[in-house]
Structure 1
Amino acid sequence: MKTYTFLFLAVLCNISFLRAQATSISGKVTDPDGIPLIGANIKLTQDSGTTADYEGNYKFSNIPSGDYILSVSYLGFEPQQKQITLDANEKLKINFTLTPSSEQLQEVEITGRSEKSYKNNLTFAATKTATPIKDIPQAVSYVTKEVFADQQAYRVNDIIKNISGVNMYSYYDDFTFRGFRSGDTYINGLRVVGLFGPEPLLANIERVEVIKGPASAMFGNSIPGGVMNRVTKKPLEQDRKAINFTLGSFNTLRTTADFTGPINDSKTLLYRLNLAYENSDSFRDLQEKKSYVIAPSISFLPTDKTRINFDLVITRFDGKLDRGQPIFGATSGSDIYSTPVSFAIGQTSDFHKTDVAYSTLSLNHQFSKSLSFNASYIKYVAQEDLEEHRTSNQFALDANGDPIPTLMGMQVITRKGQTIADNLSSYFVYKTNTGALEHKIVAGFDYNAQQQPVGNAQSFARGYLLQGGGASTRAADFPNFLRDENGNPIPNVPHFDLQNPTYNVARLSDYIFTNSPADPTKYYTYGFYVQDQIKWQKFQFLLGGRQEYYNDISNFDQPDEQITTQHKFLPRVGLVYGVNPDINLYGTYTESFQPQGVAALNNPQAGGPFDPVTAYMVETGAKGEFFNKRLAANLAVYYIENNNILVNANDTTNPELLRQRGQEQSKGIELDVNGRILPNLSITANYAYNEAIISESDDPDEVNTRKENAPLHQGGIFGKYTFTEKNLEGLGITLGSNFVGKRNTLEPTLQLPSYVVMDAGVSYKVDRFNIRFLVNNVFDKTHWVGGYSYTRLYPGTPRNYLLSVGYTF
């Protein structure tokens, strides 16, 4: 018996010994700087794979001896594989250092961003070259498609809450940057038509960037607050396919599809196709949206020196133009809660249809390691068809000419038109050394043109009916207005009763219209610029200058064509100091330039000519990367001065008279944080303190007042935590909150209240399915995201939910 017991114990010991000596393969996956590549894919066989942990480590245990091919891949890096032979009881340690794929080295964004993170490392628009954001001496904020997905955002307006210092002005493509109202629209660094209507869709957008402050040295005439650039999705070298279906509050139905990968075996021809469709209502009366996006993209990489990309985007918007919520009265005592936030003015038959098509062709050719040529061209065509009942921005008049606070004056506008934009950006990049100095020199030429061809026209029905026929909006005609039995003027378009609203199919034949064909117009700009990014030890210098020429044409291609030309030299100076490998300090000086349009310059009624709007900015700050470079934090302190702002003079005898207000100032502090704190915890957070005031004016009541829709404080945070425990694996939770302080409107006596909104959601990923459920505005906070006046406020969306199911294959 003792013998058997001894043999049994010996066998157990041998088994334990063999287990302890079992074969295994382990190692670490890093980039060339030694930074762990979290989530890198490691495959040993077709059926055996794992991912690298937070430190980049991986391990395979209890592997039979034999020959294997160990392969490692990570998006944005060249894959590697090693052939190994594993003997019995052997423990191999094999490390991998992956090099960035060539798509990371392009100067023009030809192939797509492969990262899957809230953090973005590079920007192409801020310096015209692929430059790490940390090395740019100017604040650059961004939101990536990964944030879009976790917040179930569908439009640009849904995601600007993630960007410091950016605030909605209205429901349109309309924002304030550091207190200054937004201007032109940019796609892939190229200026296109600002629609100022439909909110841009995100289905084909890789990320949204905001280059803070004046950017005229790069883009020519631009506003002083910043430039928003939308970067479209480009083809990837990896096969990726995904579809997503979403339903939610207000009868929301959406679907998107994203397909990308190589077309041929050599991967010299890549494709991407983005599709999207939406059919939804709104919490706002009468408002609905039917829209779609078709966006194919092809990248051709014939050699390692030449890259070509072609994008085509076709978008249709079909809905109504929401002009906002009116409230009772027009005095300092008016109650902002006097009408429900769902309350919209309009009629059932109103419509707004916009068709947008644009195509982009980009080229990058590397002549040598030192010299490359880059060019991008975009053709953008927008067509609009509009019929709307909207406020006349005034309350109804009684028999004495006083406003009736519960009756809204109305007007009808019908409009058809087309706007065309062409933009060419071309430049050389030359890299060289002079002694201890490294140079990256950019020299280029830009051309941008926008035109409204013959055939654009609109018609108006507004004002009050006149005795003897016709209609007028002029206060001087008040004694001649046609009256009802109570002596009140009879409107051309019936007033809208704010207490008892009614909606009908409008009969436009009942109104008196004034036709207003638009004269064909065109403007074009061109500029020459030179920029040098210089590296010396821990210092990086950015020196640049642009000579800009702006040409505005009235009565384009007509016998009485008239051209107005303005020009300006625009400098840019920046300095970056590397405190250590993770933290940079920077400072910059830059200017902006905005010519006054030809309508203001050549209109005798406007009171011109007027000087161009000019601005400058001084900014300093710090940029850092933390948690193994997975989290980025940017801090900026700035001062902006804007001069010669053109506003309406509010002259009762001449409504077209304009005046230059004088000077505006904006100063503040901004903080943006994006990335991962833990492998399973991603966050995006921001805060902005912005004091934007009118500092000089010929109207003393304006001086030192805060600019409209420019809150003193605003910020927010959003995070996603994914459980890694075995029983909860694949489950994630999202939490977010954003706040906006009090804001002035265009009415001196009307102020929008501050608000805090909370969002919460849960997600579950199993196999290839990803299910997301999100509740926005959890506590159903009544709030306003922007506003013009008592007649046009823009309430935020009440509590709502979105449920999406996605599948990747």
Structure 2
Amino acid sequence: MTTQRLQPLYIFLSIILLGFSFHTAYAQTGTIRGTVTTADGQPAEAVTVGIMNSSIGTITNEAGRYQLNKVKSGTYTLRVSAVGLQTEEQSVTVTKGIVTINFMLKESANALKEVSISDRKRKYKVDEPSPTLRLNEPLVQIPQNIQVVTADQIKDQQIYNMLEGASRNVSGLTMQEHWGNYARVNARGDRLAPFRNGVNLEASWGPLNEDMAFVDRIEYVKGPAGFMLANGNPSGFYNVVTKKPTGVNRQSFDFSAGSFNNYRATADLDGLLTKDGKLQYRLNLMGQLAESYRPYDFTNHFGVAPVLRYKFDNKNTLTAEYTYQFQRMNAFGTAYLFSTKGYASLPRDFTNAPANSPATNIYDQSAFLTYEHKFSDKWKFTAQGSYFNYKQVGYSYWINSILDNGDVNRSLGLWDASNRIKNLQAFFNGEVQTGWLKHRILGGVDLGDKYYIADYSRSVSLDPTTPFNIFNPDNSAVNWPAFDRSQPLSQRGIGTATSQKYQSVYVQDELGFFDQKLRLTLAGRFTHATVVDPYAGTSASRKVTPRIGVSYSIDPNTSLYGVFDQAFIPQTGNIFGGGSVKPITGNNLEGGIKRDWFDGKWSTSVSVYRILKNNQLVADPDRPNTPYVVQLGQTKTHGVEFDARGEIVNGLSLMANYAYTNSEISKDTDPNNVGNPVPGFAKHVTNTWLTYRIQHGELKGLGFSAGYQWQLHRLPWSLGSGTADLPNYFRTDAGASYQWKKFNLSVVVNNVFNKYLYSGGHEDYLNPEGKTVYTWQAEAPRNIRASIGYRF
């Protein structure tokens, strides 16, 4: 093994050794931590916990947990308090190590909410992963780069769906080309697999991008993630966690209006259906009408998401969740621009679509049923079944050819599709002590069934006699062909259907040494998968993938980690000329350091990684807009990532990140390809978002925010015969808001400097004259969104 390949490991080991040298500075102090709950068993958030007659104190997080660090040895009185609550006190003796003290308040969760609603703070940092990630420990201790974007931050940036700027809040993420129905988020040299509540939804053309009205948080799990949730991409995945009942009666309504006749209304209703609090509900509603800066484009969206939760007792809980989204939009593909004159050689509001462009309808449904049983405070069993049904009735635009003089032969195709996913998960996790060794154990099974079928083989030319010219466009109405839909999709789509079934079992043991300061993770997963592909037939494969991780706490706020993981992902695709598609395999190595600052209000993380991936699929550069793919021999991706988020001082919050990424072909049957970059990433990506809210005086509640997105050395999404000729990307956004009692007003200006921003690639096969064809998608010019909200 070469020195270059071992470089990330050398870096990680050096950091570990450095951490041990610092550890002695904290040997004479201890840590007090625990959980504060309400009388009805709910976590008590934003409650003050402190040591009497001292300046040591903190507030509880969303899980009701707190931690006091660097407490000198001795006996103290610990006090829990909040405005309007009865104070609770306990005596505690601190020695070297960790002391756990839990509190139960006399007030219920609703009583706690009533005294704190008028002074609610926005949260940009959380300390715990969601239960859907199955990892029952603080983020700072997990040997993995996991970044969480909260609903508060999404709302402050007025992000409406996954196609917009949610990815700006995490290092190294870029949004690649899209068709208006699903979001493709790339990081570490490839697409991040989309998950929802722990279920893998990755498909060729889906799922429908989530509306943020239903989202509680988005968890970005970077890098070696194959073990954590079956069949995730080695580059990582993002997990959209939907809103659930909190056991507290609270409601909110928001109305927004913006540029290009954009109108949106949402409602979030959360509360109890029975007096004893056993039956809880959450209902989210949204509706949006939106035109575009491009002529004839529009996206109308409606959604409803009811959730019911029944708590049989303190040990057994059943949660039923349903989400329905309907989206009506212009035909797919109208966002693509084509020219032989270079990127941005057409106005950004240019369109190839005629005035009577046909609409596409999308119907998206999902359902979850989750059962939880707590054997004790330390052991829990969870079973979850889910069903997703995506139906699409629509059309798509592309072009058959383009000449250097601007003459284009436009094409309209039928694109009806159905995507169904069924999933069953069951797992247990808990803790056990064997002598001086502590075990955090996780084990379970995953069963998945995916099916996709489409009718996309029929298309017609819109310009059979007179070409459409991009330099002298005529967007007048055309006569649409009457596509025959008399047969059901199951018949029309014969020959396109793909399916994947997999069964996985896994087990993990995290061994804690020296009072949990050093944690060693040993895990393994066995996966059996069967793939049915219309071009390559049926194939079955199985593999055992190990996972080894180590995490060391220099002090209660700082940890070093390293992880080794193997990937195994069955995949489908059509290789021109025939041939079967092999599953993705590979090795992943990552190391880093995490730290919480300012009593846990702010966090930073730095990670270095290397991913070796075999059999990666990319679109066939010689046959774009077709189902053909090319399977690479091996790709190598390595880089460095930095993330910081949280509240620096009272009222001042900052999110900042930076990533360096390099991804290239390391092995291939064609030696000329070795060393070439993998399409679709930026070598340098950095983002910030700064928010300040006045805390006192007559202007209390007034806030300001601003941020930028900056990408340098971008690689096109398809290289063709071109090179990395995309210009650097820089976008600035800013906003202002005002909170007064139960009201909230906010304004956000996107693309403040009105730059012509875009991403793109090369589609040279479209020009019969041998010219380079540039294709790109432009972003909106400067635009404004304003909203008013009411919470009670």
TM-score by length of 2: 0.79
Matches of 1:200 and 1:310 in 2, distance apart? 19
Q: Which residue of 2 aligns with 1:306?
A: 316
Q: Deviations over 1:612-631 (max 9, x none)?
A: 22122110001110011011
- Note the residue ranges of structure 1 that are not aligned, 5 or more in a row: 1-31, 42-50, 59-71, 85-91, 103-113, 396-402, 464-489
TM-fit CA distance, 1:542: 1.4
- Which whole-Å CA distance do the structure 2 matches of 1:651 and 1:737 have between them? 36
Q: Does 1:695 align with 2:705?
A: no
- Name the residue aligned to 1:225: 235
CA contact (8 A) 1:381 1:418 kept: yes
Residues 440-491 of structure 1: CA deviation (Å, up to 9, x unaligned): 22221110101247xx53442257xxxxxxxxxxxxxxxxxxxxxxxxxx96
Question: Partners in 2 of 1:606 and 1:658 — Cα distance?
Answer: 11
| Other-structure match for 1:180 | 189
Q: Answer yes or no: is the 8 Å Cα contact 1:175–1:181 preserved in 2.
A: no
- Alignment-derived partner of residue 787 in structure 2: 804
Cross-structure match for 2:610: 639
* Residue 178 (structure 2) pairs with residue 161 (structure 1): no
Deviations 1:109-163 (A, max 9, x none): xxxxx99510021114685233311111111122110111110110113211111
Aligned ranges 1:21-170 → 2 under 5 Å: 33=32, 76-77=63-64, 99=103, 116-124=122-130, 128-157=134-163, 158-170=165-177
Three-state SS of the structure 2 residue aligned to 1:247 is: strand
- Deviation string for 1:404-462 (max 9, x for gaps)? 35123322111223221101111122421222111122221110101247xx5344225
Note if 1:758 corresponds to 2:742: no
Aligned length: 686
Partner of residue 558, structure 2:
583
Q: Is the 1:36–1:54 Cα contact (8 Å) retained in structure 2?
A: no
Contact persistence 1:594–1:613 (CA under 8 A) = yes
Q: Corresponding residue for 1:421?
A: 421
Identity score, percent:
25
Equivalent positions of 1:589-628 (< 5 A) are 589-597=564-572, 600=574, 606-628=577-599
Q: Which amino acid aligns with 1:518?
A: I
Shift of residue 704, structure 1, vs aligned partner:
2.2
Q: Tell me if the contact between 1:528 and 1:548 (Cα under 8 Å) persists in the aligned partners.
A: yes
Residue 607 of structure 1 deviates from its aligned partner by 3.1
Deviations 1:595-652 (A, max 9, x none): 242x54xx8x643234322122110001110011011111111011111234566679
Alpha-carbon contact 1:760-1:778 (below 8 Å) kept? yes
- CA distance in 1 between partners of 2:539 and 2:226 (Å): 20
For residues 383 and 302 of structure 1, the distance between their equivalents in structure 2, rounded to whole angstroms, comes to 36
Provide Cα deviations, 1:728-776, integer angstroms capped at 9, x if missing partner.
Answer: 1111111111111131221342522112211111111112110001111
Residue in structure 2 matching 1:345, options 348, 352, 357? 352
Within 1, Cα distance between the matches of 2:167 and 2:677? 22
What is residue 214 of structure 1 aligned with on the other side? 224
Q: 1 CA distance for matches of 2:531 and 2:289?
A: 40
Q: Secondary structure at the match of 2:339?
A: coil
Superposed displacement of residue 94, structure 1:
7.6
Q: Give the C-alpha shift of residue 192 in structure 1.
A: 2.7
Cα shift at 1:664: 1.3
Distance 1:253 1:491, change over 3 A: closer
Cα separation, 2, equivalents of 1:130 and 1:206: 18
Contact map agreement 1:607 1:657 (CA 8 A) in 2: no
In 2, Cα distance between the equivalents of 1:366 and 1:776? 46
* 1:651–1:266 Cα change, 3 Å: closer
Partner amino acid, structure 1, of 2:251: K
Q: What's the offset of the Cα at 1:510?
A: 8.6
Residue matched to 1:273: 283
1:771 to 1:188, Cα distance in 2 relative to 1, 3 A: same
Task: Tell me whether 1:501 sits opposite 2:492 in the alignment.
Answer: no
Are 2:499 and 1:522 equivalent residues in the alignment? yes
Deviation at 1:76, TM superposition (A): 4.5
Residues 446 and 527 in structure 1, CA contact (< 8 A), matched pair in contact too? yes
1:189–1:229 Cα contact (<8 Å) kept: yes
Equivalent-residue separation in structure 2 for 1:802 and 1:555 (angstroms): 45
- Contact 2:336–2:777 under 8 Å retained in 1: yes
Moved more, 219-228 or 755-764: 219-228
Per the alignment, residue 699 of structure 2 pairs with 728
Which position in structure 2 is the counterpart of 1:749?
Answer: 722
AA aligned opposite 2:394: L
**3-state SS of the aligned residue for 1:236?**
coil
Q: Please, which runs of 5 or more residues in structure 2 have no aligned partner?
A: 1-30, 39-45, 54-58, 67-78, 91-100, 107-119, 764-772
**In the alignment, which of 528, 543, 555 is matched to residue 568 of structure 1?**
543
Deviations 1:513-561 (A, max 9, x none): 99963345432111111111221121111111111111123579xxxx9
* Cα separation, 2, equivalents of 1:659 and 1:617: 23
Question: Which of 364, 367, 373 is the equivalent residue of 2:375?
Answer: 367
SS at match of 2:382: strand
Give the distance between the partners of 1:250 and 1:656, measured in 2 at CA: 34
2:509 match: 532
**Closer/same/farther in 2, CA of residues 355 and 427 from structure 1, 3 Å limit:** same
**1:550 lines up with 2:491 in the alignment:** no
Q: Which amino acid aligns with 2:529?
A: Y
Moved more, 280-289 or 571-580: 280-289
Aligned-partner Cα distance in 1 for 2:336–2:260? 18
Q: Secondary structure at the match of 1:218?
A: coil
Q: Which residue identity is paired with 1:457?
A: D
CA distance, structure 2, for counterparts of residue 684 and residue 433 of structure 1 = 38
Over aligned residues, Cα RMSD in angstroms?
A: 3.6
* Residues 807, 118 of structure 1: alpha-carbon distance in 2 compared, 3 angstrom cutoff: same
SS in 1 for 2:600: coil
Q: 1:149 to 1:656 in 2, by over 3 A?
A: closer
* Structure number with larger C-alpha Rg: 1
Report the CA distance shift for 1:555/1:326 in structure 2 as closer, same or farther (over 3 A). Answer: closer
Q: Distance in 1 between matches of 2:34 and 2:160?
A: 34
Higher deviation after alignment, 529-538 or 370-379:
370-379
The one-letter code of the counterpart of 1:377 is G
Superposition deviation, residue 164 in structure 1: 0.8
1:181 partner letter: D
CA contact (8 A) 1:606 1:658 kept: no
Q: What corresponds to 1:467 in structure 2?
A: none
Aligned to 1:317, the other structure's residue is in SS state strand
Partner Cα separation in structure 2 for residue 512 and residue 265 of structure 1: 56
Following the alignment from structure 1 to structure 2, what is the Cα–Cα distance between the partners of residues 528 and 494? Answer: 60
For residue 11 of structure 1, what is the aligned residue in structure 2? none
What is the letter of the counterpart of residue 152 of structure 1?
Q
Deviation at 1:226, TM superposition (A): 1.0
Q: CA separation in 2, counterparts of 1:277 and 1:574?
A: 45
Please say if residues 325 and 341 of structure 1, whose CA atoms lie closer than 8 Å, have aligned partners that are also in contact: no
Residue 460 (structure 1) aligns with: 458
Q: Is the 8 A contact 1:180 1:224 kept in 2?
A: no
**Aligned equivalent of 1:769:** 743
- The one-letter amino acid paired with 1:522 is S
Verify the 8 A CA contact 1:214 1:222 in the aligned structure 2: no
Match of 2:648 in 1: 677
Q: State the shift of 1:792 in Å.
A: 3.1
